[in-house]
Homo-oligomer: A and B are copies of this chain.
């Protein structure tokens, strides 16, 4: 038995666990049905998610959608959905994706109760959650018993190489596209062989006509205008291609057992920017953190501090690491003036004669006048603080702009982002 199968065994729920999940789900559904009947609400509870399709791994949660008739208003559906949710799951909290929903624990199992509109295949959706019950119906109608194991195998494989999960911070493969993949390829083996030979984009089905820009294109069978694989990043597709190659070449050692090399004597400079994390979901915070990281990188680059690499960690706080080469800028920088033949050249000379920033020159190189001028700010902290002041760092991050901590030296040793930096490896 190969190591992947060992992992599969470890992560496949026991019969007992599965029974418990089924029991809780049907109990919740019964309760919702009862309420809807009593209050004469035209709504149906539907179990969705991996448990409803038997494709779940261990420690899965239960997703119950309450699908309301399309005649109701969005406001009614949101309000009534939360009310019913709290009714059937005690001590639950309210969360927010596209709509508010209720999340809590029943008998130790996490249960999400999500209001949605009931639509049929081809009908216009109100929000993207409305599609989920149709996904479940589709998968359950197409799935064959023998595929269940291979869907779980694919999920375990993708989890091991860190590309499972459709959250923005993961940009990986969702459970739904794992199911679509096995429905299309029949077996895990077929798919992994396909992935090991794949060049360029992943396009499923092969003969798909609609064009998408994303690196992974998996046409959603219940809405062929939608790319179900849109969330997968190029990097994660790359990781899958490499892992598939390794798997087919019987190099499971590298996929599952290799340990990253850690040598810390890099003789570079490092700074970590620590920003408070606003209390909103990661899918919204993460892209703002990525953009901030890129902005800080660009300041280092533009100012001439020679950044070499960077890392982002989003935990309780946002940590942005920039590794760079130059400690301080020199006092001097070359400033290009006009061509000598232009009418600006005399003005340039007279202006610079008066300026205390002049360090050398003016002088001529080729067909232009130059001066060496004094650098205004030579310290990266100073430059960063100044540039941040004028900068929009993201709708939800702007409020913490003045509190950004700039750490370096021994202050950064124990930060999460440092661990992430040094443990960088293939998967």
Give chain A's interface residues, CB within 8 Å of chain B. Answer: 198-200, 234-235, 237-239, 241-242, 245-246, 249, 251, 254, 258, 260-263, 265-268, 304, 306, 308-309, 325-326, 328-334, 339-341, 345-346, 349, 353, 358-369, 372, 374, 378, 422, 424-426
Contacts and interface: CB of A to CB of B under 8 A. Distances in A.
A197 to B, nearest CB: 9
B424 A239 contact: no
Nearest to A269: B330
Contacts of A378: 267
B245 A362 contact: no
B267 A359 contact: no
A345 B240 CA distance: 13
Nearest to A200: B341
Given A346-B246, A359-B261, A360-B262, A332 B268 contact: yes
Given A199-B341, A238-B368, A334 B308 contact: yes
7 contacts: A239-B340, A265-B331, A266-B330, A268-B331, A306-B326, A326-B326, A363-B426
B242 A369 contact: yes
A268 B359 contact: no
Given A261-B360, A362-B426, 9 more contacts: A235-B367, A238-B340, A239-B340, A245-B345, A266-B359, A268-B331, A325-B330, A361-B424, A363-B426
Given A346-B249, A349-B254, A260 B422 contact: no
A245 B304 CA distance: 36
Nearest to A196: B341
Nearest to A199: B341
B242 A340 contact: yes
Contact of A251 (B262, B331, B346): B346
A113 B156 CA distance: 93
Contact of A241 (B198, B237, B341, B363): B341
A177 to B, nearest CB: 19
A238 B366 contact: yes
Contacts of A358: 261, 263
A296 to B, nearest CB: 18
Given A361-B424, A378-B267, A234 B330 contact: no
A268 to B, nearest CB: 4
Contacts of A326: 306, 325-326
Nearest to A251: B346
Contacts of A325: 304, 326, 329-330
Given A306-B326, A360-B261, A360-B422, A234 B332 contact: no
Contacts of A258: 353
A254 B424 CA distance: 59
Nearest to A324: B330
Contacts of A262: 360
B363 A267 contact: no
A235 B334 contact: no
A238 B364 contact: yes
A260 B361 contact: yes
